[in-house]
Structure 1
Amino acid sequence: MRKSSIVVCAYHNVGYRCLQELIRQGAEISLVFTHDDSPSEEIWFSSVRELAAAHHIPVVTSEINYKENIALLREIAPDFLLSFYYRNMIRSEVLDIPKRGALNLHGSYLPKYRGRVPVNWAVINGETETGATLHYMVEKPDAGDIVDQEKVPIDFTDTAYDVFNKVTDAAVKVLARAYPQLVAGTAARIPMDLAQGSYFGGRRPEDGRIDWEKSAVEIYNLIRGVTHPYPGAFTHLGATRFLIWKARPVEGKGEPGQIVSLAPLRVGTGDGLLEILVLQKDGDAERDAAAFANQLKVGQLFSAKQ
């Protein structure tokens, strides 16, 4: 039986691991679309471009929606287009090209957390589980029929990085199960009930601003949702900005944003106290909270604004 030809759009660790899985399965990969790394972004993930080059698979880094790339896709006429953490919205004109469908592996248990950065949003919102979902792509983002999906737990101490690694493993499991079924024509197609889900947009570094009126648990969830390798949660003490990289909620009362103790460093919130463990003054190295005992005072107020 003839192998199914594939064009892959991929980036980041999910893209790397899923491309690796397709190679392991002996898939006929005609072309890979990926991205040039941004000089302003911390590159902590594996290179899809290097993996493809190591296996002599042609790579294109310009956007798939460009006119010349659409013409190239029509010339290849792939059976499937598979997208793994590709950052550009793929236009319907492109989705219509593959003969047997275009599919995406999304980092949530759809229909929940459709849209951008689903892992970060799930942690920030205090979810206890998320997942990975392989689904057909349609013009509306993350809305096509579901082929397969896998749940993963979110522990209360997990950071977004921890959860992202779990979701990456789940994505590979889903693809390992589903790809042979897609080729054989036996894969499921389960309509997605968007009314049961949610949609979230992307996040900017500015969205890490701490609102001390929120509860200690909510602030803790924000901190672990945007801590390394992401830009971090921040607050101000006067004109000085501090990044808070690690903290935990504890019982107690205090005015929102007010330092109530130095050893340990605890700050009042809208409900409970936040014990800060690791923080960083702008322009300085990050340090354990104990290193700031002589620089801070009980009664000082952290604020969302300088």
Structure 2
Amino acid sequence: MKLVIFAYHNIGYICIKELLKQKANIAAIFTHKDSKDENIWFKSVEKLARQKGIPVFTPSSKEIKSKVFFNKLKRLKPDIIFSFYYRYLLPQSILDIPPYGAFNLHGSYLPEYRGRCPVNWVIINGEKSTGVTLHYMEKKADSGDIVAQKRVPISFKDTALTLFRKMEKTAAELIRKTYPKIIEGKIKRIPQDTKKASYYGGRNPEDGKIEWDNSKESIYNLIRAVTHPYPGAFTYLNGEKLYVWKAQISKRKNRLNDLKAGTIVKVFPKRGMLVKTGNGYLLLKEVQLENVKTLKEARLFKKFKKYEGLELK
């Protein structure tokens, strides 16, 4: 049984390691070149492939669609194709090559949250759970029949990173249990319910802008969804960009109705900076002015005490 894998990021790395534990015959791995404009906080699929002596390639999106690439892949004669967090859509001609099928592992409980950045979107939307799904690949992204999936709980304190760590473990477990069934021909195909499908697009750093008129819950969710290692939620203080890396919902009653949302109500020596929102207050625990070190507790108090009464915009 010969495999060809398209993979990137930690989930790609982890799923490949799981397949290697099962003595899978991986003929080739296709991955991405790391971008200089991206914070590369995750493990390298390319390095793993080289360490294991597996041929590895980094084709462009244009090359993927070429006849030359198709012929190259066909000569490899893969029985199965896997895609683990690979960022390019594979043409139908490639998906039709392996006799056992082409499978993608998606970071949500499909058909919910098809598309890009599901780990961030589920937190932004305040979901209580997400999941990991292995499904057949079709021309339309994330729409193929489901082979296996498992729910992953989201706690109110989870950030995108802590949730991603949970999903990594679940992804490895899913591959561990499902790969033997695929090669034995014992999997069942479950069509996705299109009526329950939702789709989300990619995110940019600019999407982290805080709108203080929103509820304290939605602002809190945004902050934990894009905190480290992601670009971060941000606001402006006196025209200077201020990142908010950690926050906590305040139980303080919404009594200061005459204050504008975004007003710095109080800066505490240890607790953080209390800010008015659309329906209450948010306590900012860790903040960072652009090109300055992150501040919290006493340092935050010392720097921002003088700004009480000013409005974040």
* Matched AA of 2:191: P
* Match of residue 257 from structure 1: 262
Task: Tell whether the 8 Å contact from 1:30 to 1:76 is kept in structure 2 after alignment.
Answer: yes
* Residues 106-148 of structure 1 deviation map (CA, whole Å, 9 limit, x = unaligned): 0011111110011110111111111100000111110000000
* Residues 30-67 of structure 1 deviation map (CA, whole Å, 9 limit, x = unaligned): 11000111112111111111111111110011133343
* Matched AA of 2:124: I
Matched, 1:76 2:73: no
* Match of residue 206 from structure 2: 206
* Matched AA of 1:201: G
* Match of residue 291 from structure 1: 299
* Match of residue 166 from structure 1: 166
* Match of residue 152 from structure 2: 152
Report the CA distance between 1:96 and its aligned residue: 1.5
Separation (CA, whole Å) in 2 of partners of 1:80 and 1:148 = 16
* Residues 6-41 of structure 1 deviation map (CA, whole Å, 9 limit, x = unaligned): 100011110000000111111111110001111121
Report the CA distance between 1:239 and its aligned residue: 1.2
Partner SS, residue 39 of structure 1: coil
Relative to 1, partners in 2 of residues 1:107 and 1:62: Cα closer, same or farther, differing over 3 Å? Answer: same
Partner SS, residue 182 of structure 2: helix
* Match of residue 226 from structure 1: 226
* Match of residue 279 from structure 2: 271
Q: Number of aligned pairs?
A: 300
Identity, in percent, stands at: 47
* Matched AA of 1:59: V
Query: When the two structures are superposed, what TM-score results if normalisation uses the length of structure 1?
Result: 0.95
Counting only pairs closer than 5 Å after superposition, residues 106-185 of structure 1 correspond to structure 2 as 106-185=106-185
* Match of residue 57 from structure 2: 60
31, 35, 39: which one aligns with 2:32: 35
* Residues 247-277 of structure 1 deviation map (CA, whole Å, 9 limit, x = unaligned): 0111232531011111141000011201000
* Residues 63-99 of structure 1 deviation map (CA, whole Å, 9 limit, x = unaligned): 3334332111111121111000001111212212222
Partner SS, residue 123 of structure 2: helix
Separation (CA, whole Å) in 2 of partners of 1:175 and 1:205 = 32
Relative to 1, partners in 2 of residues 1:113 and 1:225: Cα closer, same or farther, differing over 3 Å? Answer: same
Partner SS, residue 292 of structure 2: coil
Counting only pairs closer than 5 Å after superposition, residues 11-50 of structure 1 correspond to structure 2 as 11-50=8-47
Task: Tell whether the 8 Å contact from 1:144 to 1:191 is kept in structure 2 after alignment.
Answer: yes
Separation (CA, whole Å) in 2 of partners of 1:122 and 1:286 = 26
Separation (CA, whole Å) in 1 of partners of 2:37 and 2:127 = 30
Task: Return 5+ residue gaps in structure 2 as ranges.
Answer: none
* Matched AA of 1:283: N
Separation (CA, whole Å) in 2 of partners of 1:55 and 1:22 = 12
Q: Higher mean Cα deviation, 146-155 or 246-255?
A: 246-255
Task: Return 5+ residue gaps in structure 1 as ranges.
Answer: none
Partner SS, residue 111 of structure 2: coil
Query: When the two structures are superposed, what TM-score results if normalisation uses the length of structure 2?
Result: 0.93
Report the CA distance between 1:238 and its aligned residue: 2.5
Partner SS, residue 151 of structure 1: strand
Separation (CA, whole Å) in 2 of partners of 1:107 and 1:131 = 6
Partner SS, residue 132 of structure 1: strand
Cα root mean square deviation, aligned? 1.2
Separation (CA, whole Å) in 2 of partners of 1:281 and 1:270 = 23
* Matched AA of 1:287: L
Report the CA distance between 1:289 and its aligned residue: 5.1
274, 288, 293: which one aligns with 1:280: 288
Partner SS, residue 307 of structure 2: coil
* Matched AA of 1:94: I
* Residues 155-194 of structure 1 deviation map (CA, whole Å, 9 limit, x = unaligned): 1001000000111111111111111111011111000112
* Matched AA of 1:7: V
Separation (CA, whole Å) in 1 of partners of 2:15 and 2:159 = 22
